[in-house]
Structure 1
Amino acid sequence: MGWKGTVRSLQASARRSERNAHRRQRELEKRHKEYAKMEALEQAAYEVDVYENHIDILLSMHKDCADPVKWNRLISNPEPRQPINSCALEQRATHSATTYRPNFWARIFKLEARKRVALMGKVRAAQAEDERQYQAQLDEWKTAHAEWAEQRDIAVRILDGDRQAKLDAIEAFESFAEISHLGSAIQMIVHEGGVLEAKVAIHGSDVIPSEIKSLLKSGKLSTKAMPIGRFNELHQDYVCSCALRVGRELLAILSDELVIVTALDNVLNGSTGHMQEQPILSVAFSRSTVDGLNLESIDPSDAMKNFVHNMSFKKAAGFSAVTALDAQRFAEAV
């Protein structure tokens, strides 16, 4: 399985707890099979539930995160002991052969020689079974030892700040599947000085609804265009929630005290007059500050005030392009 398999198993156990938005999403997905059989008012209520759940998921990305990897604990795991062929079965069979004494009937019917031949056959069979069991144990040990060596190697390299080790660990954990499903692509860069930066391509217009769905007093579905101000506010909260989620996941995987997350999206380039993918948020997440947040209660956009960050946002106009943080400025933190 190797260390990559090990960290995936650690990740799986760490994700057993699930936020309410995801549980609700699964329930709604099950109900979708019954959609065609629903009455009109039931369908309307279902569509509003799905809409509200989608918004809830977008704005609560930061609430999920794997448990921190205990790299120091991996280093301290004892080396698996190489098995020894104890020859236990052979010893018991040999003891039976050497201590054999023919009884009265064996002497009368001259069965002693045949019995001794049979006992020696059992000794040889026991030798073969001892060897078979030993080889099986040896194969298991080789696998366990290789995994132990890999785990120890990656743990040492992570704690030493090795660039490639960071990238390998991030790839192995596959921590950003949910964000990818929502249309956000992530690129990892380890800058000179060891600071890791995640560049997250946020496709807000593809993810955030352009309409608002609600129920009228009659129970019927109301669908209307989302005001630009509301769309922009959702966009900001989603971007900040994603950035915080990525920062938390990276700090959980790595031993670094700080990581940079830069979110990019299509915004107007004032010099060309065209929409272009540019940084809209760049934030340096420090471990100590992240650990001190009450993640269940924070507003993700307001939470950025706790960190060094660049963001230009206006409710009426949305995001404007900003300059990504200079990683060298934070090199000493790593």
Structure 2
Amino acid sequence: MSWKGTMRSLQASARRAERNAHRRQRELERRQQEFAKMEALEQAAYEVEVYENHIDILLSMHKECAEPVKWKKIFSKPEPKQPLKSGALEQAAMHASATYRPNFFARLFKLEKRQREVLLAKIASAAAEDEKVFQAEFEEWRTTHSDWAEERDIALRILDGDRQAKLDAIEAFESFEEISHLGSSIQMIVHEGGVLEAKLAIHGSHVIPTEIKSLLKSGKLSTKAMPAGRFNELHQDYVCSCALRVGRELLAILPDDLVVVTAMDTLLNSSTGHMEDQPILSVAFSRATVERLNLEAIDPSDAMKNFVHNMSFKKGSGFAVVTALDPQRFAVPVSGVS
């Protein structure tokens, strides 16, 4: 197993706490199989539940995060000890041969010579079995030692601020699958000075529903076009929630005290007249500030006020293009393993 595989195993062994929205989503997915058998009013209630759960998923992205990686602990993990060949089985067989004393029946039927030959033969087979056990233990140790050496090497490089090591670790942990399932992609860049920036192509306008589903007093389904202001507010909260989630995941994987997340979306470039991916939110997430937040209670858009950020948003028109933060301004010396 490579160190990347080991890291994934480590991550799997420390499962994140699943947020309520995800548990509710799985329950609704199970009920979907019964949808055709439902009465009309039950179907209407189910559709509204699915709609509300989708909104809840979008606006609670920031509430879930992987367990922090303890790189110093990984680096300090003791080296696996190479196994020694014990020869226990051979020694036992030799002892049995050396202490053999023929009994009454062996002497009576002249079996002593044959029994001694059997005991001598067992010494050879015991030695072969000892070798087989040793080789199996040695192969297991060699694999374990290789994993230990690779983990220690990546931990040292991470703690020393190695740029490629950061990117390798982020790739190994696969922490952004949920965001990618919602149609967003992420590009990681480690700038000079060591500050990591995540460019998040979020395309939130394709994820936010354009309709509002609710139940009438009669229990029937009501579907209305979502007002532009409400759509834009949901879009803003989703973008900010995703950005905070990405920031949290990166701070969990890396020992860095700060990461920059820049969210991109398709907007009109007034200089070219074309729709292009452009920055709509750029945030410098500091570890100390993130750890102080009550993530279950915050409004993701309002939470951006806690960080250095650029965002231009109006309820009526939505996001406007902003200038991405310059990661170089946040560069600080890396402390390393000491």
Q: TM-score, normalised by structure 2?
A: 0.97
CA distance, structure 1, for counterparts of residue 13 and residue 91 of structure 2: 44
Q: How many aligned positions are there?
A: 334
Check the 8 A contact 1:262/1:279 in 2, yes or no. yes
Q: What is the one-letter code of the residue matched to 1:98?
A: A
1:129 equivalent in structure 2: 129
The answer to whether the aligner puts 1:54 opposite 2:54 as a matched pair is yes
1:87 equivalent in structure 2: 87
**Any gaps of 5 or more consecutive residues in structure 1?**
none
CA distance, structure 2, for counterparts of residue 190 and residue 280 of structure 1: 20
Per-residue CA deviations over 1:206-253 (Å, capped at 9, x if unaligned) read 100000000001100000100000010000000000000000000000
Q: What is the one-letter code of the residue matched to 2:86?
A: S
Is the alpha carbon distance of 1:136 and 1:153 closer, same or farther for their aligned partners in structure 2, counting shifts above 3 Å?
same
What value does the CA root-mean-square deviation take over the aligned residues? 1.0
Per-residue CA deviations over 1:116-136 (Å, capped at 9, x if unaligned) read 100011101100110000000
For the residue of structure 2 that corresponds to 1:67, the secondary structure is coil
1:173 equivalent in structure 2: 173
The answer to whether the aligner puts 1:185 opposite 2:182 as a matched pair is no
For the residue of structure 2 that corresponds to 1:332, the secondary structure is coil
| Percentage of pairs with the same residue | 78
Q: What is the one-letter code of the residue matched to 2:39?
A: E
The answer to whether the aligner puts 1:269 opposite 2:269 as a matched pair is yes
Q: Shift of residue 12 of structure 1? A: 1.8
The answer to whether the aligner puts 1:21 opposite 2:16 as a matched pair is no
Check the 8 A contact 1:258/1:333 in 2, yes or no. no
For residues 1-12 of structure 1, what are the structure 2 equivalents within 5 Å?
A: 1-12=1-12
Higher alpha-carbon deviation: 9-18 or 121-130: 9-18
The answer to whether the aligner puts 1:120 opposite 2:120 as a matched pair is yes
1:162 equivalent in structure 2: 162
2:311 equivalent in structure 1: 311
2:218 equivalent in structure 1: 218
For the residue of structure 1 that corresponds to 2:279, the secondary structure is strand
Q: What is the one-letter code of the residue matched to 1:22?
A: H
Check the 8 A contact 1:257/1:333 in 2, yes or no. no
Q: What is the one-letter code of the residue matched to 2:193?
A: G
Q: Shift of residue 7 of structure 1? A: 1.6
Q: Shift of residue 333 of structure 1? A: 6.7
CA distance, structure 1, for counterparts of residue 71 and residue 287 of structure 2: 16
CA distance, structure 1, for counterparts of residue 89 and residue 191 of structure 2: 59
Per-residue CA deviations over 1:67-125 (Å, capped at 9, x if unaligned) read 10011111111111100111000000000001111222222222111111000111011
CA distance, structure 2, for counterparts of residue 317 and residue 333 of structure 1: 41
CA distance, structure 2, for counterparts of residue 16 and residue 237 of structure 1: 23
For the residue of structure 1 that corresponds to 2:266, the secondary structure is strand
Q: What is the one-letter code of the residue matched to 1:4?
A: K
CA distance, structure 2, for counterparts of residue 183 and residue 206 of structure 1: 8
Check the 8 A contact 1:215/1:222 in 2, yes or no. yes
Q: TM-score, normalised by structure 1?
A: 0.98
CA distance, structure 2, for counterparts of residue 300 and residue 317 of structure 1: 19
Per-residue CA deviations over 1:286-322 (Å, capped at 9, x if unaligned) read 0000000000000000000000011111110100111
CA distance, structure 2, for counterparts of residue 116 and residue 139 of structure 1: 35
Q: Shift of residue 275 of structure 1? A: 2.1
Q: What is the one-letter code of the residue matched to 1:239?
A: V
1:39 equivalent in structure 2: 39
